[in-house]
Structure formats: structure tokens, C-alpha cells
């Protein structure tokens, strides 16, 4: 019983190497084995690897601003490769696990987004990820797609580490305070993925797209202030404290890619089916900071 996992060193990929183990022997495909910017090479590589009961795709072109100028790579990895994986899953009758993003929405809804809400991505990354979703749902393969948001882990590159670094370099920071969402740990995503797969196998969870984030909401500014405050409490010594982080508007921090103002995802569909209470976003942020401290991580 082989589980093919695409992605090796990514935030979610690393955690899935822990939580998918009970479902079969893991065959991990890093960039060295499959380059998803060349989607046409995927069928050959997977054929040589043999059969599988599950294909988990934790890869993506995740550099949101770079996607604006390298849309060919973003669409190859986030859409075209995903379509090929869906066909591979269908041919093998394997379950395809896949991840998508809050950035498929335009962020203009006042309330948290539910799965059935209309998508309307604002940037190339969001368009390419929506393309990946459609490639799966249009393929008739067995699938679970989890839309998540603002992902972090102690191993990965993410906003939290960026803010810790900046706070150690500069006495003052400026961070947007009008984009809202739920910071979500790769650990939580991988844990809930395993629960979802188990429920799927028991027939308790149908194929589909599900929202999966931590609970609660904050802005990037709220997250940055929390991170710096907590970091000081556990012994980091940044130059900037929480009061030195200026709240600014999106317009005051121009970036190549537009980002949604409301990134909140309503996770009721998944949590109610799994009988789960998703933890507040602060729980795993604090855990990650503790991990960094214990490891002696230097910002
Ligand atoms: N990061 C975030 O804030 C969010 C992420 N998501 C989604 O969650 C999923 C996981 O994201 P996350 O773990 O944060 O991503 P990371 O950026 O941490 O990791 C990206 C992964 O994609 C792989 N990859 C990228 N390009 C290629 C390529 N050309 N060929 C082969 N492999 C490639 C990398 O491979 P290797 O390990 O070999 O280097 C790595 O495993 C993605 O679908 C993403 O869209 C959704 C919302 C927020
Ligand atoms: C570093 C920094 C960022 N910002 C702003 C810019 C942006 O609006 C916001 C987040 O910045 P980042 O570029 O780190 O995050 P970004 O790459 O937009 O993060 C997104 O990644 C993709 C993969 C997803 O799917 C999304 O869910 C989301 O996590 O914070 C500041 O205001 N000040 C700063 O010093």
C-alpha cells in the first residue's frame, strides 16, 4: 500500500511525512525526482514508481509576488501539474489529496467564506490555484482538497519568521492592518488531513473542497504584534517591540500582487463532519515560537 507524497521540504509536506505514515509506505517525491514545472514528465516518473492508493500533493508555486512575473511557472505547478496528478489518481483509482488557498477569493465578502462562495482571485497565484482546483473537480478522481490560509511552521519560510528577523534588524516595522485571516500551522493541516482521510475511508466524508484553518481571525499587523510580544516573553531580544509596529493600510505597502482584504474561511463543513474543534490561531503560533527558541534558532 503505497502513498505517493509530492513535496519533500515544504511546510505542509514535512508534516504530512509524519501524519500519512499510518496509511501506507510513503514514497516521497522532492524536486529532485519530479520537476512540476515540466508537468509532461509526471506520468513517466509515477509509472516507474508503481501503484499507489493515495497521491498527496503538498507542492505549489507559493511565491505570490513572483507569480505575477513568472505566471508560466505558477500555472505549470499549480494548475497543469495538478490536472495530470488528477488523471494519474483516476487511472489508479487512488485518492488525491491537495491544498488550495484563501487567495482564490477576492476578499470583498463581509463574512467568512464558505466552500460554495464564488471564487474571484485577485492575483496570478490565486488564479493558478483556482485552476488546480477545477482540474481536480473536473476530473472525476477521488479527491479531498483543503483550502487553507497564512501557513507557517518552524521549518519553513513564512511571515512569522520574516517578522522576527525584521524585528531583530530594525527598531520599527510597518505592517498592513486591513487584511484579515487565520494563521494556520502546517502541523494542524497535516493532523486534520489524516483525520479527514480516515473519515473518507469510513464513508463519513464525501469528495470535495473543504476549508481548513485555525479558528479566530487577525490582521497581519495583529499577527506581527502577537509574535513579537510572545517572542520577548520567551527570551528573544528584538530591537522592535509590539508598540514599534506601525499599523498601515494595504495601499501604504504596495506589492506586485494584490491580496484579499478578507481571507477568513468558514471551516464548519469539515469540522462538523469530523467532530473537531479547531484551535485558536494563537495556540500553534505560540508553539512554533517555543520550538524556535528550543532549537536555538537565530533570527
Ligand atoms: N504557504 C502559505 O501561506 C499557504 C499555502 N497554501 C497551500 O498549501 C500547500 C502547501 O504550501 P506550503 O507547504 O506552505 O509550501 P512551501 O512553499 O513551504 O513548499 C512548496 C513545496 O512545493 C514544492 N515545489 C515547488 N515548486 C516545485 C517544482 N517546480 N517541482 C517540484 N516541487 C516543487 C517544494 O518542493 P521541495 O520540497 O522539493 O523543495 C515544496 O515541497 C500549497 O498547495 C499552497 O498553495 C495555502 C494557503 C497558504
Ligand atoms: C514582510 C511584511 C509584509 N507585509 C504585508 C504584505 C502582505 O500584504 C502581507 C503578507 O505578506 P507575505 O508576502 O509574507 O504573505 P503572502 O505571500 O501574501 O502570504 C500568502 O501566501 C500564499 C502562499 C497563500 O496562500 C496565502 O494564504 C498567504 O499565506 O503582509 C507588511 O505589511 N509588512 C512587512 O514588513
> How many A from CA of 254 to the centre of ligand 1?
24
Report pTM: 0.97
| Pure H helices in the chain | 11-19, 42-49, 64-69, 71-75, 81-92, 124-137, 159-169, 186-201, 220-233, 268-274, 281-294
Of the residues 99, 113, 125, 210, only one is catalytic, namely 125
Q: Quote the ipTM score.
A: 0.98
Residue whose entry in the numeric block shows the C-alpha cell 482546483: 133
Q: Which helix (H) or strand (E) holds 210?
A: strand 208-211
**3-state SS class at 292:** helix
Residue 291 and residue 285: Cα distance in Å, rounded?
10
Residue 94 and residue 3: Cα distance in Å, rounded?
9
**3-state SS class at 293:** helix
| Contact by Cβ (8 Å): 185, 284 | yes
Tell me, yes or no, if 125 is annotated catalytic.
yes
Q: Could you report the per-residue pLDDT of 132-172, keeping only the tens digit for each?
A: 999 999 999 999 999 999 999 999 999 999 999 999 999 99
pLDDT < 70 stretches in the chain: none
Instruction: Name the closest-CA residue to atom 7, ligand 2.
Output: 176
Here the cell at position 78 is: 499549480
- Please choose from 7, 9, 100, 187 the residue to mutate so as to test ligand 1's pocket, defined by most ligand atoms within 8 A of CB: 7
Instruction: Name the closest-CA residue to atom 18, ligand 1.
Output: 10
What's the pLDDT score for residue 266?
98
> How many A from CA of 230 to the centre of ligand 1?
27
Instruction: Name the closest-CA residue to atom 25, ligand 2.
Output: 101
For residue 252, what are the CA distances in angstroms to 94, 176, 255?
47, 8, 10
What's the pLDDT score for residue 125?
98
What's the pLDDT score for residue 1?
87
Ligand nearest to the CA of 122: 2
Spell out the domain ranges in the chain: 2-154+183-216+264-279
What's the pLDDT score for residue 124?
98
> How many A from CA of 11 to the centre of ligand 1?
7
- Please choose from 8, 36, 60, 193 the residue to mutate so as to test ligand 1's pocket, defined by most ligand atoms within 8 A of CB: 60
Q: How many CB atoms lie within 10 A of CB 49?
A: 14
Domain at 2-154+183-216+264-279: CATH architecture: 3-Layer(aba) Sandwich (3.40)
> How many A from CA of 123 to the centre of ligand 1?
17
Q: Which residues line ligand 1 (CB under 6 A)?
A: 7-13, 30-31, 34-37, 58-62, 77, 99, 101, 129, 148-151, 156, 186
> How many A from CA of 166 to the centre of ligand 2?
14
The arrangement of strands across the sheet holding 208-211 comes to 25-29, 2-6, 54-57, 95-101, 142-148, 208-211
Question: CB-based contacts of 296: which residues, under 8 Å, 6+ apart?
Answer: none
The closest alpha carbon to 155, from 3, 7, 4, belongs to: 7
Amino acid at each position: 500500500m503505497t502513498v505517493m507524497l509530492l513535496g519533500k521540504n515544504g511546510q505542509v509536506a514535512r508534516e504530512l511525512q509524519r501524519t500519512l505514515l499510518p496509511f501506507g509506505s510513503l514514497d516521497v517525491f522532492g524536486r529532485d525526482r519530479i520537476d512540476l514545472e515540466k508537468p509532461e514528465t509526471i506520468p513517466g516518473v509515477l509509472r516507474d514508481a508503481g501503484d499507489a492508493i493515495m497521491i498527496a500533493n503538498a507542492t505549489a508555486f507559493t511565491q505570490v509576488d513572483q507569480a505575477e512575473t513568472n505566471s508560466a511557472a505558477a500555472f505549470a505547478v499549480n494548475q497543469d501539474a495538478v490536472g495530470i496528478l488528477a488523471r494519474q489518481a483516476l487511472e489508479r483509482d487512488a485518492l488525491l489529496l491537495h491544498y488550495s488557498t484563501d487567495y482564490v477569493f477576492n476578499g470583498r465578502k463581509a463574512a467568512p467564506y464558505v466552500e460554495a462562495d464564488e471564487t474571484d482571485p485577485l492575483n496570478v497565484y490565486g488564479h493558478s490555484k483556482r485552476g488546480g482546483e477545477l482540474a481536480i473537480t473536473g476530473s472525476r478522481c477521488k479527491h479531498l482538497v483543503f483550502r487553507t490560509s497564512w501557513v507557517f511552521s518552524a521549518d519553513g519560510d513564512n511571515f512569522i519568521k520574516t517578522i522576527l528577523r525584521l524585528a531583530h534588524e530594525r527598531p520599527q516595522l510597518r505592517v498592513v492592518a486591513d487584511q484579515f485571516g487565520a494563521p494556520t500551522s502546517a502541523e494542524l493541516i497535516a493532523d486534520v488531513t489524516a483525520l479527514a482521510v480516515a473519515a473518507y475511508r469510513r464513508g463519513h466524508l464525501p469528495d470535495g473542497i473543504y476549508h481548513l484553518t485555525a479558528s479566530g481571525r487577525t490582521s497581519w499587523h495583529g499577527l506581527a504584534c502577537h509574535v513579537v510580544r510572545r517572542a520577548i516573553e520567551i527570551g528573544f531580544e528584538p530591537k522592535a517591540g509590539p508598540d514599534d509596529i506601525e499599523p498601515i493600510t494595504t495601499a501604504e505597502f504596495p506589492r506586485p500582487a494584490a491580496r484579499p482584504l478578507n481571507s477568513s474561511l468558514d471551516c464548519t463543513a469539515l469540522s462538523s463532519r469530523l467532530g473537531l474543534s479547531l484551535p485558536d490561531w494563537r495556540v500553534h503560533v505560540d508553539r512554533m515560537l517555543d520550538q524556535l527558541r528550543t532549537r536555538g534558532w537565530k533570527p
